[in-house]
Every structure is written in structure tokens, then in C-alpha cells.
Amino acid sequence: MTDAGAPERADELRRLIEYHNERYYADDAPEISDADYDALMRELRVLEDAHPELITADSPTRQVGAGALSAAFAPVTHRVPMTSLDNSMDVSELTAWGDRVARGLGTAAAGFVCELKIDGLAMSLRYEHGRFVQAATRGDGRVGEDVTANVATIGALPKRLRKGAPEVLEVRGEVYMPITSFDALNERVEALGQPRFANPRNAAAGSLRQKNPAITAERELSFWSYQLGEVVGGPDFTSHHETLQFLAEMGFPVNPEIREVQDLTTVYDYCAQWQEHRHDLGYEIDGVVIKVDDLAQRELLGFTSRAPRWAIAFKFPPEERTTLLRDIQISVGRTGRTTPFAVLEPVFVGGSTVQMATLHNEDQVRAKDVRPGDTVIVHKAGDVIPEVVGPILSLRPEGSEPWQFPKLCPCPLRTELVRVPGEADTRCVEPACPFQRDQRIIYFASRGAMDIEGLGERTVFQLSDAGLVVDPADIYSLTAAQLLGLEGFAKISADKLLAAIEGSKERPLPRLLTALGVKGLGPSASDALSRKFGSLDAILAANEAALATTDGVGPTIAASIVRWYAIDVNQRFVDKLRDAGVDFGRVEISHVSPTLAGRAVVVTGTLSRYSREEAEAAIKDRGGKSPGSVSAKTYAVVVGAEPGASKLTKATSLGVPILGEDAFEQLLVTGELPPVAEEPDAPADG
């Protein structure tokens, strides 16, 4: 940015930010993601820092929230302003904030309180003489909207405070929608043929701005309190953590993950832990809020024009961004299933640059009504496959037409695609389809199957194009000379791939069974069949009834296995694997007592005497199940270090026994719970 262009860019940024403030705060219809909005604000702040003469009194960098309020709700003037927070996007910015705090306090050391940054709506609740009288949104920090009737429907909030309440008590916090409520809401609106909500934050905002409080009540909103506003006749506090204890004593929900820490190193650890475990919770978070704990130190540090100097938000990498949908294409899987996917303008989201995202199936494309040329919301959480959430309709180009699912397979054979009535998937039913062939080989070599390092998509396509492989068994006939004839292969890389292929012959039976690619037969059912029958030959020789009696298999998978092996080409494929020397199993069949027959035992956290896989195998050896989530049917939850917070919370709410490692070993032997469920081994914080 040149000095000459700075004024024009500053004006443009202010207009953009004000426009998006209106969409976000007043309309609950954002057109860009939080990350894109933050980028605009940061650019304007940097520009104003470099050119102070460009700063205006009404600049968004000097304001809190949005000035425009909905005409549907009466205005409420906050007696104590509701400020915003400055953001830090990485450790260096967090360190810089810590240095500013240290300079502001001189020789005094600061202690901190770390809180999860809830992705919801800031709210101020007012109680007079112990009774709930008003709820107001943040608005522009000085004036918010009166949403009392709607907030009164939130069951987590006390309508009358406990004995000893101040004459006036204003409580600040966040209204949010739990993930289970969000999923249920989207199921309801889909059933009515209405568009899905993009995320829990937007759903919560829309729920609070309903004119009919009964609709708000159906949305099952909740609340976390985290700050005091005006207090008249209350106790004197010296620290923030004391105020949180007071709020809990008064009956307000206070997040259980809040921590007092004494130095920035521990702050970093807390941020890193929750960035990794953010999806273990039953609600959305997008960062961590760090506050100076000592209230007198806060007074000394003071405020900027829009935010306290004694607090900062550490923002996690964005998991939602907006970008351009260039095209919609379809891919063909190993079973012929065709999956539409979005070709995107590259965008950084969820820790990586995304250029493609799944659209699931024809019905999902129709329900979301995404079209080439749309600006769309893209979601990616960690290692989860990127997904297009939906379009931003206000930005749709004129003349846009709904996307139509292709009639023909995109492979060179151009076979007509078929959708069986009653099924969601459209399939290519041509066995000779080269796309299906390649995907079967890729799946066979994948990490969850035969785990052949070096045999990825690019190499499979090369082998297929060269006519060297027709089915996965052909990889065991490859020679060094054939590989050296392919682009990118030298002697070392060829020998390494051949060694990996040879080593895969000794994979355990469950991996081989999974690798066959039988429709519906995944790792869990493959493991159960392997334990019961002991070899691939025994499994393929069994009839449907025998297969279906295997725990976790059932008649659908059993029928799929029998149908698969009845096809001549699949029989020849199995024979080729046998001739190549692939180990067909003879896995050791467990002879331990079935002490956990039919019982579900969930394992969470790190055990000292078992790996996660060993603990789950021990449960399955004894006839039990080890699912990944807690339900009312869960028999017990085994807890190690750093357990999933959502699993513990759900187990507690359902009354499911929580066991430590010693009690777990007793359970394996006897199948019985201890008379009184022992406390689990002390896990690390979180």
C-alpha cells in the first residue's frame, strides 16, 4: 500500500466493515466468515497505525459491535458499557500483549484467568432484588436490544437468585446453542423443506431475535456467565476468579474449564490444549479469552477506546471461510458411487488450503441449493473432510441456474448413471469403469486397509494408465523393471515400494478383510468377523445366517459379503491374492471368558497400562463393544489422562459409572462394576 493509496483503501475498508456489521449484528445474515471479517479489521488497524492522520472518530476500530439495532426490539442503555476484546492470532501476538501488561504494571506480577471463548452472543442480564428483570444484547457497547422475553425461556438461567443477592446485579455472559440442539434444529428445518442453519452461532442469534418467545424456547439455548456488570449492594471483590465463584453461588452457569494460571507459559499451554481438543466439547468455541485476575491491576491497566487492556482473545485458526464456488463435478468411488464435489477458489481454512470440498450426494446439493458462481461458506475442522455449508444468497449472480446431476459417468466409457429408487446415491454400474478400478486399488492400499506406503493416488493412476494393474491383486506381480519405466521412479524408490508391497502380505486378517472393499464392511465388522471365524476362507465359506450372528455384523452386511463372493471376478481376485502369498489369517481366536458380553464400555484419555487399541481389544475379546461415544446404553466409561470433556460430561449427566484403570482391570476379569465407582486416576487439566 503506497501512501497515496492509503486514504482510499481506509475508506473502502470502513465501508466494507460497516456493511458486514449490519449483516452480522442487525440481520443475523453474515456474508463473510469471522476470519474474513477479522482480516478486514486487522488491515484497517494496521493502516491507521501507519497513518494516524487517517483515523476518524467513527472508525470501526474505535467502535464496539454494530451501531444499527433491530427495530423489532426496544433499545437498552448499558449502565456499564459492554466492551469488545482485542484479538491475538498467534503466540507472538499473545506474548506482545503480555509484555504490554507487564510494562503497564511495572514491578507487580500479573496472574491470569483463562476462559474458553464461546462462539455465541454476548448478553447482559439484569437482576433487581434477586429477580430477573431484563436481558439486553451488546449492540454498540453502549446501547443494546431488549430481548428479555426470549432470554427468559433459557432454562439454564435462574429466574430468582439465591439468598444474599445484591440489590442490583448485572451478569455478562454468552448465549449459545449446544451442538445437540443445533443438530436437532437442522433436522427439523430440513424436514420442513427449509434451509439449514450454517452454524450454532447463527442459529442462536436467529433464535434470540424471534418475535415469538415460544419459538426461542424450542431452540434449547443455554448460557455461560463470565463477567459482572453493574453491582449495587454486593460484596467487595479483589479478583476475577472470586467474581466467578460468586456467580456460581448465585446459581449462574460458570464454565467448568476456566483456569487460574500464574504465567504466560501456562497460558500458552492452555490455549494449545484447547485448540487441539476444541471438538471434545458439546458446544462451539473459537478461541481462549485471557484476563488479568487482580481487579486492582485491571484498574491500573484501563481501557482503549473499544477494549480493555487487561484482557485479550486468542483466536484459533478459522474453521469456516467464504470463497467462490467455481464448479461442481462428480467423482466415482470403488463401488461405483458417484459423489458431487465443489471446485473452489483456494481458501485457507481449518489449518490448510482447501480447493475442493464434498457435497455428499444429489439430494444434499438440491437441499443446499449451491450453484457454480456462488459465494459459499466452507467448513473444515482439523482433519475432517472440507464441506460446503451453503451459499450466501445475497451474493448470488443474476441468472444463476440450479445445478443438475450428470446423466453419464465422467469416465471414458460414458456409462449411464443409475439411481435406485429409495437410495440416496447415484451409481455407475459398469464393472469395467476405470475410475472404479483405480479407486478399489487406492482403497486396498490405504492406511486403514493394507497400509502400503508409497502406493498413493498418483502411483496407482500411473500403474493403471500403463496397463500394469487391473485389480488390487496385480500389485503383488509388479517388478522393479516395470516401476523403473514409470515417471518419477528410480531404483531406490522402486525397491522401497516393492518392499512395502511385500510387507503388506503379513497384515492382520481384519485389515485384509476391510481391504477387499465389500460394500458396508468396515474395520469394526471386519474385526468382529476375524475374531469369530479366524481366517478369510472360513468367512467366505460361511452362509448368511452364520455371518449375521456375529456381533456388530447383522443381516445387511452378511448378505453383502455373500453377494460379493458369489461374483466370479471377485472369486478370481481372492485366488490371485492367495497365489501371491497374502496371509489369509488364522488369527488367534479369543478364549477368555465373555465377561462383557453385550456391554458397551467407552475408553477416553490415555491409560498407563494399555494403549487405546489394546484397551478396546480387551473389551472386544470379552464380548463387549467399545464405541466412540457415550449413550444411555453405555455400561461404563474408562478414564485416563486428558479425557474428552464431552464424554465425561455426558457420562455424568446420564449417570454412567466412571472408572479408573484399576477398576477397568477388575471389570475385565469379573464383568462387574465396583460397589462404589472409584475416582478415575487424576488426569491432566482439561
The set of catalytic residues is 117
d(CA 56, CA 52): 9
d(CA 288, CA 113): 10
Q: Where are the alpha helices (DSSP H) in 255-323?
A: 264-277, 295-301
Is 498 in contact with 483 (CB distance < 8 Å)? yes
Where in 584-644 does DSSP place strands (E)? 600-604, 634-639
Instruction: Give the chain's radius of gyration (CA, Å).
Output: 29
d(CA 128, CA 591): 67
For the chain, report the end-to-end CA distance as a whole number of angstroms: 44
Query: In 3-state terms, the chain is what percent helix, strand and coil (to 5)?
Result: 40, 20, 40
H or E element in which residue 127 lies: strand 121-128
Kind of pairing between the strands at 87-88 and 311-315: parallel
Query: How is residue 308 annotated by DSSP?
Result: B
Is 438 in contact with 461 (CB distance < 8 Å)? yes
d(CA 481, CA 555): 46
Task: Report the DSSP beta bridge partners of residue 538.
Answer: none
d(CA 536, CA 522): 15
Is 154 in contact with 132 (CB distance < 8 Å)? no
d(CA 202, CA 177): 9
Is 189 in contact with 196 (CB distance < 8 Å)? yes
Neighbours of 490 (CB within 10 A): 10
